[in-house]
Amino acid sequence: MAKMTLRDRVLGPRVPPEQRAAHAERYRRPMMLFGGAAFLLVVSIFLPYWILRLRAPQFPDGLVVRAYLNRLEGDVETLEGLNHYVGMPSFEYGAVLERSLSIIALVVLAGLLIAAFAFHNRWVVVFTLPALVFPLMFVADLQYWLWRYGHSLDPKAPLAGAVGEFTPPVFGPARIAQFETLALPGPGFVLALVASGLVAAGLWYHRKAYKPLLDQLYGKARS
């Protein structure tokens, strides 16, 4: 009776050399997709994930804030001054944990995708799922902080009563008092979305490549 080795149980079946040579593209495609996703995630670290444009009568040229994973750039000081008048907390108090861990987290996600090369069974999902859902988690976390800032106004601030509590949308246009805002996905977020799509495609091709080997291996183990 054929038995599976510990290596087979953990990593999945090995591809026979002759089969890998005959179907090289089939087994190479999942690794290329996972590797491409890992590369895009690392590149996205250096690009803004979220862009906010604001326009008001006193700012005819508009204001722009670009949110990277770990910092804000653009007209941040001007917007901080406006926040003071409406009673909104300073940006430095928002998403402190997320900003401190974001770079390391994305490097880890990229590393997990590379580590997924070694797995030819269902364990591959454990290593690829974080990168697959990362864009959704980013949007959910950003929406939470937008809501929290819009509902944490200091009632003693000069213009807090005029503005009132609000919840800006993550993406799209909005109006807050006399300000018209437009929130857009940044190029970093777009790359993360593309990476998520590559991971999904990689999982599909991974199953297509290795499920027949798994079925054969488990069939032998039960025989």
The pLDDT, as a whole number, for residue 222 is 46
* pLDDT tens-digit series, residues 70-87: 999 999 998 888 877 778
* pLDDT tens-digit series, residues 22-79: 777 888 999 999 999 999 999 999 999 999 999 988 888 889 999 999 999 999 998 8
β pairing state of 179-185 and 59-67: unpaired
- The full set of domains in the chain, from first to last, is 24-212 (1.20.140)
Relative orientation angle of helices 123-150 and 96-115, to the nearest 10 degrees: 160
List helix spans (H) across the chain.
6-11, 17-22, 24-44, 76-86, 96-115, 123-150, 160-163, 187-222
pTM listed for this prediction? 0.88
Comparing 190 with 149, which gets the higher pLDDT?
190
* pLDDT tens-digit series, residues 92-139: 888 999 999 999 999 999 999 999 998 888 899 999 999 999 999 999
